[in-house]
A and B are shown apart, each in its own frame.
Chain A
Amino acid sequence: MANKTLVPGRGVNGRDRAERRLAVRMTAPSLVIMALVAAVPIGYAIWLSLNQYSVRTAGLSRFVGLENYISALSSSQWWAAFGQTFLFAGLSVSLELVLGTAMALLLNLAFKGRALLRTVVLLPYAIITVVSAITWQTMFQPNMGLVTNVLSALGLPGGDVVWLGEHGYAMAVIVLADVWKTTPFAALIILAGLQVISSETYEAAELDGASKWQAFVHITLPLLRPAIVLAAIFRTMDALRVFDLPFVLTRGANGTESMSMLAYTQLRENRLVGEGSALSILTFLTVMVVSVIYVRFAGGNIREVAKEEQ
């Protein structure tokens, strides 16, 4: 192809320099916006979290050091929210990965109706989370919800339960609403991973006398690992930040408050800016630690994807 030195008036080095200069100018606006609206506020949040700062007292602030963190970390509320968020993330992400893998295998089969199936499973992605929460809420309404009515009509247990009024049931509805909306995302990532496995691999395994199940366990799953890990990372990060679902479904009642919700409540409803900031920094650190652990121990492939950008 084109010999670079043929570019009129410029050597290879000249163009290299021009490219590097352009690259800096082209990335600068995005980086500046993100730095101003992500890094600066987080720095400010750290400062706020070290102060006692109340909107009620017109923003009067007093430096208190780590007091907000100590009171947050020694409160049962924080640990309850911490535990509930991880419980929610663990349940919803594992269900989404199992169901998503099954859906991906299904979508990878050639059968009549596959296009329709793909469209249908994608539809929940179009609904906003708040609306999905409202929909699941109405389905589990006592006496007037679809699920409660069908359960009692069939004489099954659960028809007379106030689903959102009890911890375990409320958590189940929250998990279900999340699984419903976001499994398509996991399924599509895993499907993309499935489609790059070459059919020769299976043909070779078949020649060696492997059963379909053996092929699935020894070929499909290991080769799908990068895709599954990637889906797990995306979904876990999202699940640990969960806010809309418990906010709409229970307003955090019955022990369903998430870390983000607790920080929000302290900040907006109780007007405790310092403590709210400390809680949001703790949420931030929790999510960061989990993502670092993921990338380090499970996601060598993620670093490769990043490195591949030369």
Chain B
Amino acid sequence: MSTLTAERPTAEPATRPRAPKRRLRGEAKLHPLVWVFVVAVMGFSLIPFYWLVNTSLKTGASLSQGELYPSQPTFENYLVVFQNPEFLLALRNSVIIAVVTTTVALVFASFAAYALARLKMRRKALILTLILSVTTFPAIAIAAPLFSIWREIGLYDTLLGLIIPKLTFALPLAIYTLTSFFKEIPRELEESAYMDGATPFTAFRKVILPLAVPGLATTAILVFISVWNEFLLAVTLTTSPEARPVPVAIAFFSGTSEFDQPLGTISAASVIITVPLVILVLLCQKRIVSGMTAGAVKG
């Protein structure tokens, strides 16, 4: 534990004038035990991915023997998945649901977040608390009544019937994240827009929104991932392949075939939908980190 309190990190060299010097002083020699921990953490994070890919490349005997690596790798499972109409439908459904929900949430949330971050407003703390409290609702509390309401008004088992409640959970997440991004934009910019005779809304649209694009992108990624991942509403409010998104399709892939559990196929389907998100995380790692921690902890 002796190196735990080593020199401060060089997190953002660009914002630190003495970055090169700090880096030299800061690059600590890690204790061997700390390296063991580093390797353990990396292994813990990566091994399940390895096993998922490994399983997806095996069929028949090599699958049931649980070989530690595929001795005869085959893409058969992937072919099966891509020929499965239910999986393709689920993929389509997930894309539509995630794209529509993310877009709509971003539009409304950027309005609300701007008002909460910048405008004079009565009962701001109360409104923010209410918005945050929606994030703590267990989805089942909404799913149960929506199950009944949607059946009566015909939204049960439809894409719209899933988008609406998912939006309810996406909005507070987006508002919370965006509010902290808007706060980082210097106030002077709006003041000079006002000087030029802009109304508050014009200042928002013409000055602040373009500057907030990185924050909007970050929020979009976070919302997209959480909507894509959501399961309980999806499983409660759908019943047919026409409306089922990917997580539900995959879960029932495994559930219905008790006698011949197609683990290879399920794993292949899982790999297919995980790869794009892993690429997204690799590409947008910094954004995701800043979004996850935005506004959470302040100095």
Contacts and interface: CB of A to CB of B under 8 A. Distances in A.
Do these two chains interact? Answer: yes
Contact of A110 (B10, B38, B51, B148): B10
A148 B45 CA distance: 18
Interface in A1-31: 1-2, 4, 6-8, 15-16, 18-20, 22-24, 26-27, 29-31
B142 A267 contact: no
Contact of B200 (A19, A55, A110): A19
Interface string A127-142: 1111110111111010
B14 interface: no
A134 to B, nearest CB: 6
Interface string A167-196: 000000000000010001100110111011
B139 A128 contact: no
Contacts of A42: 137, 141-142, 145
Contacts of B299: 196
Contacts of A15: 194, 200
Main secondary structure of the interface of A (DSSP, over half): helix
Contacts of B38: 106, 113, 117
B297 A268 contact: no
Which bracket fits the contact residues of A?
Answer: 35 or more
A19 B146 CA distance: 36
A264 interface: yes
A18 B199 contact: yes
B182 to A, nearest CB: 11
B21 interface: no
B228 A193 contact: no
A140 to B, nearest CB: 10
B236 A247 contact: no
B147 to A, nearest CB: 6
Given A19-B200, A130-B231, A230 B297 contact: yes
Interface string B1-17: 11111111111000000
A131 B52 contact: yes
A128 B148 contact: no
A108 B9 contact: yes
B250 interface: yes
B158 interface: no
Nearest to A22: B200
Interface in B244-296: 246-247, 250-251, 254-255, 263, 266-267, 270, 273-274, 277-278, 280-282, 285, 288-289, 292-293, 295-296
9 contacts: A7-B197, A23-B115, A26-B119, A27-B111, A30-B131, A120-B42, A216-B1, A288-B136, A305-B298
Interface of B: 1-11, 23, 26-28, 30, 34, 37-38, 41-42, 44-49, 51-52, 54-55, 63-66, 68, 108-109, 111-112, 114-117, 119-122, 124-125, 127-149, 151-152, 164-165, 167-168, 171-172, 175, 179, 188, 191-192, 194-195, 197, 199-201, 225, 228-229, 231-232, 235-236, 246-247, 250-251, 254-255, 263, 266-267, 270, 273-274, 277-278, 280-282, 285, 288-289, 292-293, 295-299
Given A38-B168, A288-B136, 7 more contacts: A30-B108, A38-B137, A108-B9, A215-B5, A248-B254, A283-B141, A306-B129
